[in-house]
């Protein structure tokens, strides 16, 4: 079974630009979560999607948005990039997204904002 796939692996953008990151979950998984990881803040929860609906949201500004498609693939978008958005963005999938389920993470997209 293929794991969680994130594209691209690396991205370099400049301030003010926008970026779209993609995540393909494990086949059969319907819940997709996004996390931001930085050395200073650790792993921060962005949002979770289940059946094309955002079900949970972390404490991030509205510049961070996402969506999920009918095949469970998900994208996240960051508009008007700031230097502080430089981070590793991780996607994780699970079957139903309930608390007792294990999360399977992708290798992440390393975003650098110059």
Partner 1 sequence: QKEVEQDPGPLSVPEGAIVSLNCTYSNSAFQYFMWYRQYSRKGPELLMYTYSSGNKEDGRFTAQVDKSSKYISLFIRDSQPSDSATYLCALYTNAGKSTFGDGTTLTVKP
Can you give the binding site for partner 1, defined by CB under 8 A? 4, 31, 33, 35, 41-45, 48, 55-56, 90, 92, 97-100, 102-108
Rounded Cα gap, residues 26 and 50, in angstroms: 14
Q: How far is the CB of 78 from partner 1 (least distance, A)?
A: 19
Q: How far is the CB of 42 from partner 1 (least distance, A)?
A: 4
Q: How far is the CB of 81 from partner 1 (least distance, A)?
A: 22
Q: How far is the CB of 16 from partner 1 (least distance, A)?
A: 28
Residues whose CB falls within 8 Å of the CB of residue 85, separated by 6 or more in sequence, listed in order: 78, 111, 113
Rounded Cα gap, residues 78 and 12, in angstroms: 13
Q: Which residues pair with 53 in a beta bridge?
A: 50
**Residue 65 or 104 having the CB closest to partner 1:** 104
- Please confirm whether the linkage preceding 8 is cis (ω < 30° from 0): yes
Q: Which residues pair with 74 in a beta bridge?
A: 23, 68
């Amino acid at each position: 079974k293929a794991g969680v796939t994130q594209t691209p692996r690396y991205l370099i953008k400049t301030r003010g630009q926008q970026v779209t990151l993609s995540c393909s979950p494990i086949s059969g998984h319907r819940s997709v979560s996004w996390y931001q990881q930085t050395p200073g803040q650790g792993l921060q929860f962005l949002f979770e999607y289940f059946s094309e609906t955002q079900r949970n949201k972390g404490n991030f500004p509205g510049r961070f948005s996402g969506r999920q498609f009918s095949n469970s693939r998900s994208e996240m978008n960051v508009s008007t990039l700031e230097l502080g958005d430089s981070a590793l963005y991780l996607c994780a999938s699970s079957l139903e997204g309930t608390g007792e389920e294990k999360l399977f993470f992708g290798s992440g997209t390393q975003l650098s904002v110059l």
